[in-house]
Structures are given as structure tokens and as C-alpha cells.
Amino acid sequence: MLKILLVFVLLTGSFASFAEAELQGTLPDVKRADTIDEYKFHMGLAAGVSSPEGSQDATPEFGVDVGFQPVIPFGFGLEGSTTELDNGANTQRTNLFARATYNFGGEVPVLRSSYLGVAAGPTFLENANTEWTVAPLIGFDIPLAKKAHDVITLGLNGKYAFISNTPDAVIATAAVKYWY
């Protein structure tokens, strides 16, 4: 999974180096969102893989997220996800994160739909323990269908979850989001 994230970072870096003029639009000016389109309210479903450190096997992870962009290019939201770790005891891990992202723009394919950010919050374990997690993240959401204000996107998201007192995890998910 980490290799996939590194390839994505290298590819987006090579797209950004096409020309200085294109790079200027990639980093949008900071301004308050004024219209419903600029707020970018969205909700989405995600499915992917959680790969904990150590001898545990990778397991499916499912989640939901909601968010908006009150200040261009910064987005804020909440995400919840769950996975059942395959560690012999089949421990369930549920994450509830607040997240902040920096959303790129411009005309460079994929990069204009990309974001970097951080998610943080509690991770609830099946044995009633609560751990705290911080997870840097990277991803993109590419529009599939667009109507007047509504957009449906398909994207990928990767994060490395630093979890207190339990194994850290690399989490990679595909997401379908509805933007209204």
C-alpha cells in the first residue's frame, strides 16, 4: 500500500512540473466561499483495505464521510470507518475522525482534483478501549457525472494512521462521493 501512495505522489509531482504557468493555478488563492458551488458540500461511501503493522493480515475497511469547504481551498469534514482485524481474536476497530484538507486546483489532470490533509480522532476497539489517532492523508476525487450543481466523483484516498498503544495502519480506500 505504501508503494501505491509513493507512486501517486511521484506521478502528481511530475504532472505539476509541466510548466510554471500551469502550477500557478494549482495553488488556488485563499478566499471565503460565497456560493453553494464553492462550499462543495459532499457525502460519500468508501471501501478499501486496512493493513496494520506487524503480523496481522490486511482486512477490508468500510466507511462514510461528509464535508464542505468554507474557505477556498481548505476543506473540513467528518469520516467514520470500521474494519475487523485478523489477529486471531478478530478485533473490530472503528475510527471517527475530523479531517482538514488542502484542495488543489488548476488545469493539470488528476492534480486539480487532488488533496492533502490530516485526520484525527478516536479509534474505538472491540474491548471497550479508546485509542487516539492522527493520520496524514492524500487523495483525489475525479468527476464522473455532472449536472447543474450536482457532481458524482470517484476517488482514491490513502492515509497512515498513527494509533496510540495499538499497531499503526496503512489505509487505502476507493470512494464514491455526491457533491451538492
Taking the C-alpha atoms of residue 105 and residue 27, their distance in angstroms, rounded to an integer, is: 6
Backbone angles phi, psi at 34, to 5 degrees: -110, -30
Query: How far is Cα 45 from Cα 10, in angstroms, rounded to an integer?
Result: 27
Are 106 and 140 in contact by the 8 Å Cβ rule? The answer is: no
Q: Give the pLDDT score at 15.
A: 43
Residue 14 has pLDDT above 70, yes or no: no
Contact between residue 77 and residue 95 where contact means Cβ atoms under 8 Å apart: no
State the pTM of this model.
0.80
Farthest-apart Cα atoms in the chain, separation? 55
The pLDDT score that the predictor gives to residue 134 is 97
Go through the domains of the chain in sequence order and give each one's CATH number.
2-27+35-179 (2.40.160.20)
- Cα separation of 43 and 115, whole Å? 16
At residue 49, does pLDDT exceed 90?
A: yes
90 pLDDT more than 50? yes
Q: How does residue 19 score in pLDDT terms, banded at 50, 70 and 90?
A: very low
- pLDDT value at position 20? 42
* Residue 144 near residue 153 (C-beta atoms within 8 A): yes
Using a 10 angstrom Cβ sphere, with 0-12 exposed, 13-18 middle and 19 or more buried, the burial of residue 30 is: exposed
Q: Could you give the C-alpha distances from 127 to 86, 89, 90, 161, 169, in angstroms and in order?
A: 15, 11, 11, 19, 18
Question: What's the distance, Cα to Cα, between the start and end of the chain in Å?
Answer: 31
In b/e form, how buried is each residue of 113-145, taking b as 16+ CB within 10 angstroms?
bbbebebebebbbeeeeeeebebebbbbbeeee
Q: Which residue has the higher pLDDT, 150 or 43?
A: 43
User: Which stretch, 13-27, 40-54, 146-160, has highest mean pLDDT?
Assistant: 40-54
Q: Which of 26, 171, 33, 43 is nearest to 112 (CA)?
A: 26
Least confident stretch, 15-19, 60-64, 66-70: 15-19
Most confident range (mean pLDDT) of 114-118, 148-152, 167-171 is: 114-118
* φ/ψ (deg, to 5) at 3: -65, -40
- The confidence score (pLDDT) of residue 16 equals 43
Which is it for strands 92-103 and 59-72: parallel, antiparallel or unpaired? unpaired
Closest C-alpha among 155, 67, 76 to residue 114: 155
